[in-house]
Amino acid sequence: MTRPFRSVLYIPASKERALEKAREIAADAIIFDLEDAVAPDEKAQARVTLARFLSEVDYGPRYRIVRINGLDTVWGREDALAFAAHAGVDALLVPKVNAPADLDAVAALAAKVPLWAMMETAAGMLNAAAIAGHARLEGMVMGTNDLAKELGSRFRADRLPMQAGLGLCLLAARAHGRVIVDGVYNAFKDEDGLRAECAQGRDMGFDGKTLIHPAQVDICNAAFAPSEAEVELAKRQIEAFNAAQAQGQGVAVLDGRIVENLHVVTAQAVLAKAQAIRAQAQDIAAQ
Ligand SMILES: CC(C)(COP(=O)(O)OP(=O)(O)OC[C@H]1O[C@@H](n2cnc3c(N)ncnc32)[C@H](O)[C@@H]1OP(=O)(O)O)[C@@H](O)C(=O)NCCC(=O)NCCSC(=O)C[C@H](O)C(=O)O
Ligand SMILES: [Mg+2]
Question: How much is the pLDDT for 265?
Answer: 97
Ligand 1 atom closest to Cα of 188?
A: 1
Ligand 1: distance of its center to the CA of 215 in Å? Answer: 9
Q: Whose CA is nearest to atom 26 of ligand 1?
A: 18
For residue 31 and ligand 1, the question of a CB distance below 6 A is answered with no
What integer is the mean pLDDT of 122-126? Answer: 98
Domain boundary among 224, 240, 274: 224
Q: Over pLDDT 70: what percentage of the chain?
A: 100
* In the predicted structure, residue 45 carries a pLDDT above the cut 80: yes
* Domain-located, residue 144: yes
What integer is the mean pLDDT of 22-39? Answer: 97
Residues 166 and 250 in one domain: no
Q: Whose CA is nearest to atom 2 of ligand 1?
A: 213
Question: How much is the pLDDT for 287?
Answer: 87
Q: What is the three-class DSSP state of 2?
A: coil
48 sits in which H/E element: helix 43-56
What integer is the mean pLDDT of 42-67? Answer: 98
Average pLDDT, the chain: 97
Domains: count for the chain: 2
Residue 286 exposed, middle or buried by CB count within 10 Å (0-12, 13-18, 19+) = exposed
Residues 139 and 246 in one domain: no
Convert the pLDDT of each residue in 203-262 to its tens digit: 999 999 999 999 999 999 999 999 999 999 999 999 999 999 999 999 999 999 999 999
Question: How much is the pLDDT for 123?
Answer: 98
HEC readout, 111-174: CCCCEEEEECCHHHHHCHHHHHCCCCEEEEEECHHHHHHHHCCCCCCCCHHHHHHHHHHHHHHH
What ipTM does the predicted assembly reach?
Answer: 0.98
- Determine the Cα–Cα distance for residues 1 and 39; give it in Å rounded to an integer: 33
Residues 252 and 149 in one domain: no
Residues 219 and 259 in one domain: no
Residue whose CB lies within 8 A of the most ligand 1 atoms, among 42, 210, 212, 217, for a mutation test: 212
Residues 99 and 111 in one domain: yes
Residues 83 and 143 in one domain: yes
- DSSP class per residue in 77-101: HHHHHHHTT-TT-SEEEESS--SHH
Convert the pLDDT of each residue in 140-162 to its tens digit: 999 999 999 999 999 999 999 99
Domain boundary among 207, 224, 241: 224
* Domain-located, residue 1: no
Domain boundary among 224, 248, 273: 224
Residues 259 and 135 in one domain: no
Residues 147 and 36 in one domain: yes
For residue 120 and ligand 1, the question of a CB distance below 6 A is answered with yes
Per the rule left: phi > 0, alpha: psi between -120 and 50, beta: everything else, 11 is: beta
Range(s) of the domain holding residue 252: 228-285
- Determine the Cα–Cα distance for residues 70 and 144; give it in Å rounded to an integer: 17
Q: Whose CA is nearest to atom 21 of ligand 1?
A: 213
* In the predicted structure, residue 1 carries a pLDDT above the cut 70: no
What integer is the mean pLDDT of 185-193? Answer: 98
Protein residues within 5 Å, CB atom, of ion ligand 2:
120, 143, 146
* Domain-located, residue 2: no
